[in-house]
Structure 1
Amino acid sequence: MIVWAIANQKGGVGKTTTTVTLGGMLAQRGKRVLLIDTDPHASLTYYFNIDTDDLSNSMYALFLAGKDVTREQAQQTICASGFDNLDVLPATMALATLDRKLGTQSGMGLVIRRLTQLLQNDYDYVLIDVPPVLGVLMVNALAASTRVIIPVQTEFLALKGLDRMMGTLKLIQHSKSLQHQVTIVPTLYDKRTRASLEAYQKLRTMHGDLVWNGMIPVDTKFRDASTAQTPPSIYAPNSRGVFAYNGLLSTLLSQDQPV
């Protein structure tokens, strides 16, 4: 099983779009994929028309179980996405209370890692949509993953957010003795604007080989796919945005091999 965390400490940079698009593409290639929503806003959960009010279980309940969470509990919490080979572990707003209620309890930083170990034989890939806040949810996602994918909007303020994310990643890696492969993905790139070009060039200058050598363009098909509650690669397979994500996925697959 390969576990990817899609994270950034700035919102609105394309984390959920990246999670859904890459997950959909992997599923279309016949891989068994689990998408984990750890954001209290539950955008990934809503994307697949999963109503949090109707859920008897969610990621919050699994965190309440903590280190005692079982495979049966995890399987009972997983929701079908409506698309072949693609499942979702849903989030609810209750996740926003985790740091206050449970953040100091022993073992709370490793709940998602335990979940992935319990589900090791059920999935080939796990993609975690991470909230833009440093806390127990982000720590969990980073502790469970071997690769961190960081979508970064190609504009000045987003670059500042990336600086915070890179600092957080180094801090957590040091405290948890972790190593990650890191892929920075330029997103919302608009070739018509100087701001996008300058931001992309600065990304390359500051972070070098950590930056994927392509970029994800602004594409209204992403919004349309979200409205249709369908992964972009299924909704608009020939769109320029999907073409770009296919290039990103090819790069990631060439670097990661299942174990």
Structure 2
Amino acid sequence: MTSTYTFFNHAGGVGKTSSARDFGYELAHRARQVLLVDFDPQGNLTSFLGADKWNLDSSSTLLAALLEDDPAAVAGSIPPAIEVHGLHLFPATIDLAIAEAQLLAKMGRERRLANILGQLPQHYDYILIDSPPSLGTLTVNALVAADAVITPVATRFKAVDGLPGLTRMVNELQWVKPNLGFAAFLPTMYDQRNRHDTEVLELIREQLSPLGPVLPPVRYRAADHNDASMNGQPVAVYKPGSEAAKDMTEVVTAFLALERQE
């Protein structure tokens, strides 16, 4: 059975893409078969995994499969996934932005990605989708394709202020995806030395626990996370044994424990 999760927060700058990358790598490191889907035309997940998005063309992405009008031809339009760092990846290029406008005129536009993922030639234990930080058609597809949502939340008051809009959108999507909810909230950019961050972390736990589990925080280690992204590597590959890598190990351990309880 495949578990599909979309990493989504409509606020940018919360560590969403690096969290999806490192979360996926940690799962793969534990012998899970993992597919990452970069569904953001900016292609940051693609870059953060070392794939050169500027030398990829649209045939490497899911664009053709998304826009295919014949359901019987969708499987033939799915490109091979890229293998990188023990993961499989469907990359993104700016060409994926074409789908944002063209999907509006398509039948079943909200379910296109879900249909594609249901026809993959290979089994995966986990599919992790990195959605755009927006509320457009691609994001709706990414959310409808998921079993549940993993939401990174920066330990900043501004990030907390945006959560009511996020939860409202997920609730509204139940028109097309019944029972869509939050698999977990992931506090990010946490500085335990900062009283502000500690207070916000407690606020996150207080406000969000009724909606879904709150995972251990990922501490703010700019050098490790930024340098790993610039080098196109998961943080555990770039700096194995680092505190940044240990944080994600703890996060995934907690998440898998939650799955076993279900």
Structure 2 distance, partners of 1:181, 1:195, is 25
Question: Within 5 A, what are the aligned runs for 1:105-254?
Answer: 105-119=106-120, 121-209=122-210, 210-219=212-221, 220-254=223-257
The CA deviation string for residues 20-53 of structure 1, in whole angstroms up to 9 with x for no partner, is 1011111111211111001111001112232334
RMSD: 2.0
Structure 2 distance, partners of 1:222, 1:235, is 9
Whether 1:95 and 2:99 are equivalent positions in the alignment is no
**Contact 2:21-2:49 within 8 A present in 1 as well:** no
Structure 2 distance, partners of 1:117, 1:202, is 38
Q: Cα distance, 1:60 vs. partner?
A: 2.2
**Contact 2:14-2:153 within 8 A present in 1 as well:** yes
Shift in alpha-carbon separation, 1:91–1:202, aligned structure 2, 3 A: same
Structure 2 distance, partners of 1:120, 1:18, is 26
Whether 1:43 and 2:44 are equivalent positions in the alignment is yes
The CA deviation string for residues 128-152 of structure 1, in whole angstroms up to 9 with x for no partner, is 0011111211111111111211000
Q: 4+ runs of 1 displaced by more than 4 Å?
A: none
Structure 2 distance, partners of 1:66, 1:22, is 34
Q: Cα distance, 1:212 vs. partner?
A: 1.7
Structure 2 distance, partners of 1:103, 1:59, is 17
Question: Within 5 A, what are the aligned runs for 1:24-103?
Answer: 24-56=25-57, 57=59, 58-65=61-68, 68=71, 70-74=74-78, 76-81=79-84, 83-84=85-86, 86-103=87-104
Identity %: 30
The CA deviation string for residues 122-179 of structure 1, in whole angstroms up to 9 with x for no partner, is 3221100011111211111111111211000000111122222111111102443233
**Contact 2:51-2:232 within 8 A present in 1 as well:** no
Structure 2 distance, partners of 1:133, 1:143, is 15
Structure 2 distance, partners of 1:18, 1:213, is 12
Structure 2 distance, partners of 1:22, 1:249, is 7
Structure 2 distance, partners of 1:242, 1:48, is 15
Shift in alpha-carbon separation, 1:90–1:2, aligned structure 2, 3 A: same
Q: Cα distance, 1:208 vs. partner?
A: 2.1
Residue number in structure 2 paired with 1:12: 13
The CA deviation string for residues 210-234 of structure 1, in whole angstroms up to 9 with x for no partner, is 2425211001211121122111122
Q: Cα distance, 1:10 vs. partner?
A: 0.3
Structure 2 distance, partners of 1:120, 1:159, is 40
TM-score when scaled to structure 2? 0.89
In structure 1, the gaps of 5 or more residues are: none
**Contact 1:143-1:178 within 8 A present in 2 as well:** no
